[in-house]
């Protein structure tokens, strides 16, 4: 069983809606990640938080807004999305953040399926 929990599992939203994806981990990890994955493709990194601070933003459009309220929680706020944003959104965590290779094994959640209509 995964120790990274994502909610909701499925989300359908209109282009004018505001919604949020949530992620929680209880492994005491200090780094958390958002990835976007299209069908039959590898995940693409969106954001990395390390010690609750945003450390990597892969030039993601501003209609995606991450938030890390504490070291166990990670949110992704969604607003004015486009149909091409429909994808699987994966949250992940690792014991330490970028640069610390020895504690860098990344563990993924089950993902949130997002459909924009």
- Kindly list the residues in this chain that would bind another protein in the complex (CB under 8 A): 2, 31, 37, 40-43, 45, 48, 50, 55-56, 88, 90, 92, 97-99, 101, 104-111, 113
The token duo for 2 is 């995964």
Q: Are 25 and 80 in contact (CB under 8 A)?
A: no
- Closer residue to another protein, CB minimum distance, 10 or 84: 10
- Indicate the burial class of 5 (C-beta count within 10 angstroms; 0-12, 13-18, 19 or more): middle
Three-state SS at 39: coil
Shortest distance in whole angstroms from residue 98 CB to another protein: 2
Shortest distance in whole angstroms from residue 97 CB to another protein: 6
Shortest distance in whole angstroms from residue 80 CB to another protein: 26
- Closer residue to another protein, CB minimum distance, 13 or 45: 45
The pair phi, psi for residue 38, each rounded to 5°, is -95, 160
> How many whole angstroms separate alpha carbon 76 and alpha carbon 67?
6
- Closer residue to another protein, CB minimum distance, 17 or 86: 86
- Closer residue to another protein, CB minimum distance, 17 or 113: 113
């Amino acid at each position: 069983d995964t120790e990274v929990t994502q909610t909701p599992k499925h989300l359908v939203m209109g282009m004018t809606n505001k919604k949020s994806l949530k992620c929680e981990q209880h492994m005491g990890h200090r780094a958390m990640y958002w990835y976007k994955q299209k069908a039959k493709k590898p995940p693409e990194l969106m954001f990395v938080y390390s010690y609750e601070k945003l450390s990597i933003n892969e030039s993601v459009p501003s209609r995606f807004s991450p938030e890390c309220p504490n070291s166990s929680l990670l949110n992704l706020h969604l607003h004015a999305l486009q149909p091409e944003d429909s994808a699987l959104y994966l949250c992940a965590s690792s014991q330490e953040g970028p640069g610390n290779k020895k504690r860098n094994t990344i563990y993924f959640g089950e993902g949130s399926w997002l459909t924009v209509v």
